[in-house]
Structure formats: C-alpha cells, structure tokens
Amino acid sequence: LLSDKRNNWSPLMVAACCGRKEIVKRILCSSLWRKINITQKSTDGETALDIARQRNEYKIVAILEEFNNNQAETAKKYAKQLN
C-alpha cells in the first residue's frame, strides 16, 4: 500500500481505510525499530483511527486503540502473531 500524498495519507491511513487488518498490524510492529506517528492527520484533519471509525472498520479501531494505550507491548504482541 502506498501513501496518498495529495491528501497527506500515510500507509497506515490507507490500510485502515481499506480494512487491511494484517497490514495495520505490520505497520504497528515496525514501531519496534522506527517511530510510527499514528496521530498524523490528513489534509482533512483525520487520523487513521478517525478513518477506520468512519469506515466502520471496528477490528482496526480496536487495534489502533490498543496500540494507543500501550505501544511497546502491543507492537511486540503483533510481531509474535505475524511471525
């Protein structure tokens, strides 16, 4: 998934919009070795969480909320699940 530069969408936002749960998890896992800004806003002022909520992607909403609450532990958990 590529980012959408016109709307300032990150790959995380695109994955959340498309309902790609496994890609969302992989992106969040990468926070173990690089900084992930899950609060980045699009040109419309929306975050990946906002986009997932608007699209009724409840599983992705839960994943992003869990990551918001405990980034390191959540990233480790998903890394184990994906490997």
Residue pLDDT, tens place only, 26-66: 999 888 777 888 899 999 999 999 999 999 999 999 999 99
Residue 10 pLDDT > 70:
yes
Binning the chain into helix, strand and coil, the percentages to the nearest 5 are: 65, 0, 35
For 65-78, the pLDDT digits (tens) are 999 898 888 888 88
Note whether 53 and 60 are within 8 A (CB). Answer: no
Mean pLDDT of 5-33: 88
pLDDT of residue 36: 81
Identify each DSSP E strand in the chain by its residue range. none
